[in-house]
Amino acid sequence: MWETLKNYFSEFKVLKQTPPEFWTLNLVVNFFEMLAYFAFITVLTLYLTENIGFDDVWAGSVTGIFTLAITVIIFFSGFIIDSIGVKKALVYSMVLLIPCRLLMGVTGPVENWYLERNLDVNAAVAVIEQGGFEKSAFTQKTERMTEAQLDLVAPSEEKGSAEQSPRETLKSDDAALREAVMTAAKASPIVQQSWGAALEEKAKDQGEFKKIIVAMIGEKPELAQKYYVDLAAAKQDPVQLKAAVTAIVKAFPDLRAQFSLQDILKVVVFILLMFTALGEALMVPAIYAALRNYSSKRTSGTAFNFQYLTMNIAAVLSFSLFDFLRLNFGNESIFLAGALMAVICTIGALFLRGNIQVQDDGEIVQLPPKKKEDREMPWTIAASVFKEAAFWRFMFFLVLLIGVRLTFTHQFLVMPKYYTRVLGADAPIGLLNTINPFIITIGLILFIPVISRFSVFRLIVVGTVISALSVFILAIPGKAFAFLGWTIKEGYYFIILAQVVIFAFGELIWSPRLSEYTVTIAPRGREGTYMSMAALPMFIAKPVNGFLSGFLLDGYCPDGVMNDIVSGARTWYNGPELMWIIFGTLAISSPILVMLLRNVIAPDRKKKEEERQANKNGEEAQPQEG
C-alpha cells in the first residue's frame, strides 16, 4: 500500500517542470469552479421544481434546453478560445457566471418581497377556503405527511417494550406504515362514508391517499389543530393572516402561479440559465486548453491525472457542502456560494500569464503578443480543422460515446429526484454523490499506475461496459430483498450504493484517459477546439437526458411513487425499475458500437500503441530526476 502511494506521487515530480500558472489553474480556478459547478448542477432540477414551480417535465425540459445551449455554444467556443486566448476566456466566463448565480440565489427573497407587498389576501382566502387548501397544506411536505400518518396510527406517547417504539418502527418501514394507515382508514366512519368499498383501489392514487389522510386528521381535534391552518383564528390578526395565507400560497404550485410572480420568475431564471450556459461553455474547454499550454508532451499525462484528482477532491467537498447548505439554508444558498467561488476563480485567472507555453522538450517560452492582423479568426480556425480527416474520425468516436455519457448525467439530472422519492425528502443526496468522486480520488492513487499500462482504446471499451452495466443494477426492485428482512427503503439504499460504487470503477478506468488522448492528438494552437469537441458527448448527453429524464421521472418515478410501490400500484414494469432499464439500454449501446466500428474510428491504433509502448519503455530507461 505504502509503496503504491509512493510510486503514484513520485510521478508528480515531473510537474516541477511546469510554470506557476499550472498550479494556479488547478488549485484555484479548476478547484473552486468544480466546487461550485457540481453543487449547482446537482441542485438545478430540485431548484426549478421546489423554488421556481416547474413540474417534472418542465424542469427536465428547461434543464435540457440549458445544457443544449451549452452544447451549441461549446461547439464554437473552442474556436473563440484559440483566437482570444485562455486567460481572457476564463475571465469572460466568470464575468458571466457571477451575476447569474447571484440573481438565481435571490429568487426566494424576491418572491417573498412581492407577496408581502402585493398579495390580495381576501381573494387568496376565498380561493383557499373554497378548495380546502388550509386543511391539506401539510400534505405538500413529505416529512409532514409522514408525521401525520404516524400521529394517526402510533401517537408519540405510546412506547413499546422493545428497543424501538411502535412509532420508530413504522417510520423506518413504509410498507408497515401504509398497512397501519389503511387499517385505521377502514375503521374511520368519515372515510367509509366518502370512499366506501372503493377505498383500497382509490388509495393507490397519491392524490386520493392524501385526501384520506386529511379526512382522518379532521376526525381528531388535537390533530386538526396541529396540521390544519386555522384561518378563522388568523383572521383576528392581519399580520398573522397574511403570513398564514402566504405560506399556503407558496405550498401549492397552482396558487403560486395565481397570486405570486412565479411566471415572471420562470422567464427570468430561464434567461439567466442561458447566460450561465455561455459562461460554462467558455470555462470547460478553456481549462483544458490552458492545461495543455502549461504542460509538455512528457508531463501531459501526469498533468491530466493531477487535474482529474483535483476535480474529484473538489467534487467530494462540493457534495458535502451541498447537503449542509441545502438542508440548513435552502436550495438557493448553493447559487450564492457558487457566486463566491466564481469571484475566487476570477482572481486566480487574472494572475495567469496567457502568452506562455511549455514546449514538447519542456522549455517554457513566452510567446510575443499576437498582432491584430496576425490573429486567426474563429471561422478561419474552424475551416482549417474541418478539413482534417482525423478530426472527423475523432468526432464520430465521440458521438458513439453519447449513450454511456448519459450515465454521468444521471447523478445530476435524475438522481436528486430519484433519491428524494424512493428514500424520502431527507435523503442524503450530497453524501451519496460524494461516494463516486471519493472512489475516483482513491482509485487514481491506487490503480492509475497499473491501468495506464494498457491501451487507451481497450480501457475505453472495458470502462464503458462497466459504467453501462452498473445502470441495470437500479432495475432491481427495492422489494427484492424482503427475504433478508429488509424494508423497501433499505433495499433501495443497497442497490443505489452498489450502482454508485461499480459505476465509479468504470469511470476510473476510462474517463481520465479520454481527456489526455484528446489534447495529445490536437495540433498546437488547436487545443481549445479539440477540447471543446471532446466535451460534446457530455454536453449532448445532458440535454438529451434533460428532456428524457423529465418524461421518465413523470411517468415512472413521480412524486409520491413510494406510496404506489408500497400499495402495489407500481411494479417493475411501470415503476422506477423500467426507467433504469431504458437508461441502461442506451448506455450499453456505446461500447457495443465502439467495438463494432473500431476499425473506422482508429484504423492505425495498433501502430500508435506500439509507438506509445516504445516511447514509454524509452522514458523508463532514462534516469529519474531528483
Name the average pLDDT for the chain: 82
What confidence tens digit (pLDDT) does each residue in 475-524 have?
999 989 988 989 898 999 999 999 999 999 888 887 766 766 665 566 65
The H or E element containing residue 72 is helix 56-84
- Classify residue 203 by its DSSP letter: T
DSSP secondary structure, 264-295, as one string: HHHHHHHHHHHHHHHHHHHHHHHHHHHHHHTS
> Which domains, from first to last, does the chain contain?
20-111+262-376+393-609 (1.20.1250.20), 120-259 (no CATH)
| Best mean pLDDT range from 24-28, 364-368, 455-459 | 24-28
Judged against a pLDDT cut of 90, whether residue 7 lies above it is answered with no
Position 346 scores a pLDDT of: 94
Asked whether the beta carbons of 434 and 320 are under 8 A apart, the reply is yes
- Classify residue 139 by its DSSP letter: G
Neighbours of 59 (CB within 10 A): 26
Judged against a pLDDT cut of 80, whether residue 604 lies above it is answered with no
Long-range own/partner contacts, residues 184-193 (CB < 8 A, 24 or more apart): 184/152, 184/153, 184/216, 185/212, 185/216, 188/215, 188/216, 188/219, 189/219, 190/215, 190/216, 190/218, 190/219, 191/215, 191/216
Looking at the chain, the whole-number percentage of residues with pLDDT higher than 70 is: 82
Average pLDDT over residues 74-99: 85
Residue type at position 442:
I
Rounded to two decimals, what is the model's pTM? 0.73
Choice between 579 and 620, residue whose per-residue pLDDT is larger: 579
330 Ramachandran zone, left/alpha/beta (phi>0; psi -120 to 50): left
What confidence tens digit (pLDDT) does each residue in 514-562 have?
766 665 566 655 655 666 666 666 667 777 887 888 889 988 998 888 8
- Choice among 15-19, 126-130, 282-286 with the minimum mean pLDDT: 15-19
Asked whether the beta carbons of 537 and 67 are under 8 A apart, the reply is no
pLDDT band at residue 376 under the 50/70/90 scheme:
low
Position 160 scores a pLDDT of: 47
pLDDT band at residue 461 under the 50/70/90 scheme:
confident
Q: Please, which residues have CB within 8 angstroms of residue 108's CB and are 6 or more apart in sequence?
A: 51, 330, 332
Average pLDDT over residues 281-305: 78
Choice between 536 and 359, residue whose per-residue pLDDT is larger: 359
Asked whether the beta carbons of 514 and 537 are under 8 A apart, the reply is no
- Classify residue 569 by its DSSP letter: S
Q: Cα torsion at 19, 22, 28, 29 (round to 10°)?
A: 130
Position 534 scores a pLDDT of: 65
Average pLDDT over residues 145-160: 78
From CA 31, how far away is CA 344, in angstroms rounded? 10
The H or E element containing residue 364 is strand 364-366
What confidence tens digit (pLDDT) does each residue in 245-256 have?
988 988 888 888
Asked whether the beta carbons of 121 and 247 are under 8 A apart, the reply is no
Average pLDDT over residues 49-76: 84
Looking at the chain, the whole-number percentage of residues with pLDDT higher than 90 is: 25
3-state secondary structure 417-482: HHHHHHCCCCCCHHHHHHHHHHHHHHHHHHCHHHHCCCCHHHHHHHHHHHHHHHHHHCCCCHHHHH
- Choice among 58-72, 303-317, 453-467, 513-527 with the minimum mean pLDDT: 513-527
Q: Please, which residues have CB within 8 angstroms of residue 445's CB and are 6 or more apart in sequence?
A: 4, 5, 8, 9, 309
From CA 202, how far away is CA 207, in angstroms rounded? 9
Position 576 scores a pLDDT of: 93
Position 624 scores a pLDDT of: 40
Could you give the C-alpha distances from 323 to 330, 419, 433, 499, in angstroms and in order? 10, 13, 10, 21
Asked whether the beta carbons of 375 and 81 are under 8 A apart, the reply is no
- Provide the pairing of β-strand 364-366 with 356-358: antiparallel
Position 601 scores a pLDDT of: 73
